[in-house]
Chains A and B, each alone.
Chain A
Amino acid sequence: MSTSIAVINTKAPFSTSDGKDALDLALIFGSYEQEVGLFFIGDGVWQLVSNTDGSLLNIKDYLKTLDALEFYDIEQLFVCKQSIDARSINAVKELEGITLLEAKELQTQLTNYKHVLRF
């Protein structure tokens, strides 16, 4: 049996633990061979900015784990382009399977997953 799940990230990485909690959950779904899509919208896109380092704030730098997603078979990452532009972010991490999408395309992608959780 298997299912598919979209995990939506809406928070910046270090002020709350939501980003890490979402990633922990995604890794478990991946470990159980479920199809996982990671979505980044709103302030969630801050999680994808290169060269951030939580350890400078004494926070575990869980974002390093994003580079290991392939080992959990998580290869679908969708980022809201509008959110990136609105925050004047000029580059996001070059992760395997990452795609920048317009709001409408994001909606379409979301419908490909049976369940959705939001953090």
Chain B
Amino acid sequence: MTNTLEFNGQDVALDQAGYLKDHTQWHRDLAPLLAEKDELTLTEAHWEVINFVREFYLKFNTSPAIRALTKAMKEEFGEEKANSRYLYRLFPEGPAKQATKYAGLPKPARCI
């Protein structure tokens, strides 16, 4: 099954769950389009997490699971934002799952 999103006159390939197939095709302006499909409007608070998750991936070649995400975020954002309640409020379907999607990263392993 092919699933594509038109962006800047180009077709961006998505997997079945709506994640980018190639993370290098990601662009900042793509994120709101991906979020729109989930009926989510991105705010600055969302962006902090999206950027953080993307940087984490580019540095460590893996998308952080929720616990690793909060632990890593603690240094940069402090306890107030580095907790799963706050993150779930922003991304109700699961921060690891949703933030990685809008950050253009591969779908986290199903087995988690």
Across chains A and B, the number of contacting residue pairs, with CB separation under 8 Å, is 45
B-chain residues with CB within 8 Å of residue A70 when the two chains form the complex: 71
A71 to B72, Cβ gap below 8 A? yes
What residues on A are CB-neighbors of B109 within 8 Å? 24
The verdict on A62 contacting chain B, using a C-beta distance below 8 Å, is: yes
Partner of A62 from B61, B72, B111 at Cβ < 8 Å: B61
Hey, which chain A residues are within 8 Å of B64, CB to CB? 68, 71
Cα of A61 to Cα of B57 in the assembled complex, Å = 12
Chain B positions within 8 Å of A72 at CB level: 67-68, 71
A47 CB to closest chain B CB, in angstroms?
14
Q: Is the C-beta of B56 less than 8 angstroms from some C-beta in chain A? A: yes
Are B59 and A71 in contact (CB-based, < 8 A)? no
C-alpha spacing A90/B38, complex, angstroms: 51
Residue of chain B at shortest CB distance from A72: B68
Chain B interface, number of residues (Cβ within 8 angstroms): 16
What are the interface flags for B45-71 relative to A under an 8 Å C-beta threshold, 1 for contact and 0 otherwise?
Answer: 000000000001001111011111101
Within B65-112, the residues touching A (CB, 8 Å) are 65-69, 71-72, 109, 111-112
Residues A27 and B60 in contact in the complex (CB < 8 Å), given A71-B68, A71-B72, A72-B67: no
Interface flag for A67 (CB, 8 Å): yes
Contacts of B68 in A (CB 8 A): 27, 30-31, 68, 71-72
Distance in angstroms from B108 CB to nearest chain A CB is 11
Closest A residue, CB atoms, query B106: A60
Instruction: Name the A residues within 8 Å of B61 (CB-CB).
Output: 60-62, 64-65
A103 interface residue per 8 A CB criterion: no
A28 at the interface (CB under 8 A from B): yes
Contacts of A62 in B (CB 8 A): 61-62
Distance in angstroms from B66 CB to nearest chain A CB is 8
A33 to chain B, nearest CB (A): 8
Q: Using a CB–CB distance below 8 Å, which chain B residues touch chain A?
A: 56, 59-62, 64-69, 71-72, 109, 111-112
